[in-house]
Amino acid sequence: MKKLVSICLIGALMASLAGCAKTGKKQDEYILQIGTVLNEADPLYVALTEVFEKQVEEKTNGAIDVQIYSGGQLGTDEDVLEQALVGSGVGVITEAGRLSNYVYDFGVLLAPYVASDYEEAQKLFETNTYHELCNRLEDKGFHILSFNYYQGERELFTRKPVAEPADLSGQRIRSSGAQVVTSTLEAMGANTNVLAWSESYQALQQKVIDGVEVHLSAAVGSSIQEVTNYLSFTGHQQLLTALVVSQKWFENLPKEYQEIITDASYEAGISGSESVIHKNDEYLQTLIDGGIEVVDCDVEAFRKACEVVYDELGYTDIKAKLDAELGR
């Protein structure tokens, strides 16, 4: 009888320990689902899977399970941001224009010609002004892991040639819906039509719109050369994007894990950005081989036309502050 009781007690103890271990493991596991509209061949998507996901899972010994979803599988950027807002373990690669829906002044970081190239764009995100904006965004419920995912310059892809602002008159160009994007396109001379990027190809095919403004990697990824004829290198925006997660979710991570995912995001951003820059000539050749003709456009005329955007959107003062910090 004593032997039977001992066996039962040992069994109960083992079950209890197993239960505690199981419970402890469950408590220490986190899931981070990252959504992006990028396709799986895009350099930034590759960086997310091969650098960010790999580093985070290795350095946390699998305690953070990173899941990357391409092609808008988690929904639009706005959908994912709204999930993050309520504390869900989700993240999204998105740009300053969309973040301006929550902190209006973020839009200045995507304003026309606020930076002339990748290096100058990077410097914007080293300023005190940028860090102040991040603090305000955290108060709204979001946390930026890093803002260094460069997608390239935004250019114009159209069915008719566009060499100067007057050529955009009457043309319907797709806008993401961010006010800074819409205002920029309208200042350049276009009419705008707000559409999800995933709808752009069909909209061009059905002549709902006449063109899009987009960077080369996304143009190739969505086969824009099949439904447009001309490319104008306006370079009106330098598209640096951020990996944004829920502030509440981030705060619930152990300090060590916070540092790991922050560092991994930065490393992934550098890797992906370098790949984008390296492949830009390849993307351009793909577009040309697909029938795209490059237009010799008057960039200075577009730059001058866009000067009104800062006044219209109330960004004149914050732009002056950025200029002062950057010594320009």
Instruction: Please give the pLDDT value at position 192.
Output: 98
Q: What are phi and psi of 70, to 5 degrees?
A: -95, 175
Q: What are phi and psi of 267, to 5 degrees?
A: -65, -40
Q: Looking at residues 81-87, what average pLDDT do you find?
A: 96
CA dihedral 222, 224, 225, 231 (to 10 degrees): -130
At 328, is the pLDDT very low, low, confident or very high (cuts 50, 70, 90)? confident
pLDDT surpassing 70 at residue 181: yes
Instruction: Please give the pLDDT value at position 28.
Output: 59
Q: What share of the chain is helix, strand, coil (3-state, %, to 5)?
A: 55, 20, 25
Q: Mean pLDDT in the chain?
A: 92
Higher pLDDT, residue 196 or 192? 192
Instruction: Please give the pLDDT value at position 51.
Output: 99
Q: pTM to 2 decimals?
A: 0.87
pLDDT surpassing 90 at residue 263: yes
pLDDT surpassing 90 at residue 227: yes
Q: Looking at residues 198-205, what average pLDDT do you find?
A: 96
pLDDT surpassing 80 at residue 13: no
Q: Return the bridge partners of 152, or none.
A: 239
Which H/E stretch holds residue 69? strand 64-69
Sign of CA dihedral 287, 173, 100, 53: negative
At 4, is the pLDDT very low, low, confident or very high (cuts 50, 70, 90)? very low
Percentage, residues of the chain above pLDDT 70: 91
The model's pLDDT over 102-134, given as tens digits with 9 standing for 90+, comes to 999 999 999 999 999 999 999 999 999 999 999
Q: Are 131 and 153 in contact (CB under 8 A)?
A: no
Non-local (6+) Cβ contacts of 85 within 8 A are: 140, 141, 142, 246
Least confident of 28-32, 138-142, 277-281: 28-32
Q: Are 147 and 265 in contact (CB under 8 A)?
A: no
pLDDT surpassing 90 at residue 3: no
Percentage, residues of the chain above pLDDT 90: 88
Q: Which residue has the tokens 């032997």?
A: 3
Instruction: Please give the pLDDT value at position 114.
Output: 96
Q: Which domains does the chain have, with CATH numbers?
A: 29-326 (3.40.190.170)
